[in-house]
């Protein structure tokens, strides 16, 4: 039985999470309504978040690191067998299934953003900043893949929302609250996670900003 509230999610993880919650609908709306210049700027913001989250998955606190929540098939299978049971002690961090959902989400974002960098729109008015590196049919295919992967991303998000409802109704677990507050009720014996220092987060933001700015300018490499 839960005995105390433990700090579970650090501020960088929560900022990335809720920023994407706002950004992805905005990206959909701007694409659907032809606001491609705004769509591009929002895409660069999403890329900053993505690059930072990948960095934080290597350098962040224990609940943010990929190594702490990406589990093998045996752990995933064992966890799936417990899904039908009500209650149960919450996991410190992502459970084995939730961990893989994070990986899939990030991979989809890599695909959506990556294809967007090379894609060309139908009017050739708002090409991606790296579009000049490819030509003809490949550019058009990148545009189609960008659209397709974004729809797959939306489908995955819908599945994620279903999972949140399932956990609330069947498992009696509130997954939204801890991502808002950063804290969750845990057993008294639960080992609290460790967190990374603020300077590391600042370094991650600087790396993300520098990389995205470089890509937005065409990723040109100076010649000697």
pLDDT at residue 89 in the model: 63
Instruction: Tell me the three state secondary structure of residue 203.
Output: helix
pLDDT digits (tens, 9 = 90+) for 33-86: 989 999 999 999 999 999 999 999 999 999 999 999 999 999 999 988 888 776
What per-residue string of b and e applies to 22-52 under the rule 16 or more CB within 10 Å gives b?
eebeebeebbeeeebeebbebbbbbbbbbbb
pLDDT band, residue 149 (cuts 50/70/90): very high
- Whole-number Å distance between alpha carbons of 39 and 20: 14
Residue 224 lies in a domain: no
The stretch 169-198 carries a mean pLDDT of 87
Helix, strand, or coil (residue 73)? helix
In a domain, 43, yes or no: yes
Confidence grade of residue 3 (pLDDT, cut at 50, 70, 90): low
> 63 in a domain, yes or no?
yes
The pTM of this model reads: 0.92
- The answer to whether 119 and 143 are in contact (CB under 8 A) is yes
Residue 136, sorted as left (phi over 0), alpha (psi -120 to 50) or beta, turns out to be left
CATH number of the structural domain spanning residue 114: 1.20.950
| Residue 222 domain flag | no
- Is residue 125 over pLDDT 70? no
Residue 90, in any domain of the structure: yes
Per the domain annotation, does 1 fall within a domain? no
Measured between alpha carbons, how far is 178 from 186 in angstroms, rounded to an integer? 11
Is pLDDT at 140 greater than 90 in this prediction?
no
Q: Give CA–CA dist 58/156, Å, rounded.
A: 24
In the predicted model, what is the mean pLDDT of residues 214-218?
95
Q: What is the count of structural domains for the chain?
A: 1
Domain extent at residue 196: 9-214
In a domain, 48, yes or no: yes
Any domain includes 97: yes
Helices 36-59, 198-216: axis angle to 10 degrees equals 140
> pLDDT grade, residue 24 (50/70/90)?
very high
| pLDDT, mean over the chain | 90
Tell me: pLDDT of 202 over 60.
yes
Token digits of residue 12: 């960088």
Kindly list the distances between the CA atom of residue 95 and the CA atoms of 128, 140, 175, in Å, as whole numbers in the listed order: 37, 39, 11
Task: Kindly list the distances between the CA atom of residue 26 and the CA atoms of 35, 38, 109, in Å, as whole numbers in the listed order.
Answer: 10, 9, 15
């Amino acid at each position: 039985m839960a005995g105390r509230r433990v700090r579970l999610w650090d501020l960088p993880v929560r900022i990335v999470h809720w920023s994407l919650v706002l950004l992805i609908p905005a990206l959909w709306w701007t694409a659907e309504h032809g606001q491609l210049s705004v769509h591009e700027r929002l895409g660069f913001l999403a890329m900053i978040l993505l690059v930072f989250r990948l960095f934080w998955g290597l350098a962040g606190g224990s609940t943010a690191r990929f190594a702490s929540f990406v589990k093998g098939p045996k752990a995933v299978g064992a966890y799936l067998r417990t899904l039908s049971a009500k209650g149960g002690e919450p996991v410190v961090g992502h459970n084995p299934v939730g961990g893989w959902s994070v990986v899939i989400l990030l991979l989809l974002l890599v695909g959506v953003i990556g294809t967007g960098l090379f894609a060309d729109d139908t009017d050739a008015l708002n090409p991606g900043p790296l579009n000049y590196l490819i030509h003809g049919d490949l550019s058009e295919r990148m545009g189609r893949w960008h659209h397709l992967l974004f729809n797959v991303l939306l489908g995955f998000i819908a599945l994620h929302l279903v999972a949140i409802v399932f956990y609330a109704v069947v498992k009696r677990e509130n997954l939204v609250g801890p991502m808002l507050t950063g804290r969750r009720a845990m057993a008294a014996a639960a080992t609290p996670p460790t967190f990374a220092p603020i300077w590391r987060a600042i370094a991650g933001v600087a790396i993300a900003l520098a990389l995205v700015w470089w890509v937005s300018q065409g990723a040109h490499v100076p010649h000697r």
